[in-house]
Amino acid sequence: MGRVQDKVVFITGAARGQGRSHAVRLAHEGANIIGVDICEDVKTNDYAMATPEDLAETVRLVEAAGGRMISTIADVRDRQALRKAVEQGIAEFGRLDGVVANAGICPLGSDDPQAFIDAFAVDFNGVVNAIEAALPHVSEGGSIVATGSLAAMMTATGENPAYGTGGAGYGLAKRMVASFINDLAVVLGPKGIRANAVHPTNCNTNMLHSEIMYRQFRPDLEHPKREDAEPGFATMSPMNVPFVEPEDISEMVLFLLSDASRYVSGMQMRVDAGSYVKLRPQPPQF
């Protein structure tokens, strides 16, 4: 028996990065996956999104791990498309036990107001849309997980000019994900459904490894490379690691989707190599 044996989990942003890692890890533990990804670039976002080939590769990896996956190309800003994807998955698997609202963009370094809107629409509205599409099908014992960020715990994302309008939208969206999940846990508690947020620090994915992200840490260089930025990444963590791996986040997601966490709800789970307590050495607010 796997830790999430025969559960069905809806994952957004499943084509690569953390979403792919969650899909594969959960499949290893007996789950079947309903996965969506935009597989198309977002204009205000400086680095490329996943491709249809990436999504197909996730399906292949899930199957290699012993699971099944129904995949759909869909934008989390499109609530109807998410509903359809969920319904198609349920038609195949017959049930839905959990959600990982993970899809995200980080359009840093722009002064275009549209970058603020896009970040908010994907990183907050997209989370609400995913949960709304899934909730009518999730019954007692279900588990909702939303991906936030260490940025949800920082107050300065709207004040740092280097982050730009997109960074301000990202920070606001992630803070709201934290609050939304907090209150959602209260609302869903009587139904026996849990809601938790996972907050990664820098994670070894395409979102982190983009020139625009490197430039936040090396504003003195016009075209900073990974090796220029990594020492800066590492200063965030008291453990002195530049980033965590997607698999580290997947372990937390697996725990939250499994019955081992049956009385864990309303939590803000940081997987941040201690970065939060370095940033704010005081009792947590949540």
Ligand X SMILES: NC(=O)c1ccc[n+]([C@@H]2O[C@H](COP(=O)([O-])OP(=O)(O)OC[C@H]3O[C@@H](n4cnc5c(N)ncnc54)[C@H](O)[C@@H]3O)[C@@H](O)[C@H]2O)c1
Size of the site for ligand X (CB under 6 A): 32
Q: Which single residue is written with the structure tokens 């976002």? A: 45
Strand bridging mode 96-101 / 268-271 = unpaired
- In terms of Cβ atoms closer than 10 Å to its own Cβ (0-12, 13-18, 19+), residue 57 is middle
Active-site position among 47, 163, 170, 276: 170
Q: Which of 126, 164, 167, 224 binds ligand X (CB under 6 A)?
A: 126
Q: Which of 202, 216, 265, 268 binds ligand X (CB under 6 A)?
A: 202
According to DSSP, the residues that pair with 203 across neighbouring strands are: 244
Smallest gap from Cβ 94 to ligand X, in A, equals 25
Among 99-107, 109-117, 158-166, 181-189, the segment contacting ligand X (CB under 6 A)? 99-107
Among 35-43, 62-70, 185-193, 278-286, the segment contacting ligand X (CB under 6 A)? 35-43
Q: Which of 4, 23, 122, 273 binds ligand X (CB under 6 A)?
A: 122
Smallest gap from Cβ 21 to ligand X, in A, equals 8
- Radius of gyration of the chain measured on its C-alpha atoms: 18
Taking CB under 6 A as the rule, does residue 71 contact ligand X?
no
User: Can you say whether the dihedral through the CA atoms of 175, 47, 218, 273 is positive or negative?
Assistant: positive
Smallest gap from Cβ 37 to ligand X, in A, equals 5
170 is catalytic: yes
How far is the C-alpha of 74 from the C-alpha of 22, rounded, in Å? 18
Running DSSP on this structure, what letter comes out for residue 151? G
* DSSP 3-state of 66: coil
Cβ atoms of 97 and 7 closer than 8 Å: yes
Catalog residues that contact ligand X under the rule CB under 6 A.
Answer: 12-13, 15-19, 36-38, 49-50, 75-77, 102-106, 122-123, 126, 147, 149, 200, 202-203, 205-208
Q: What positions carry a catalytic annotation?
A: 170
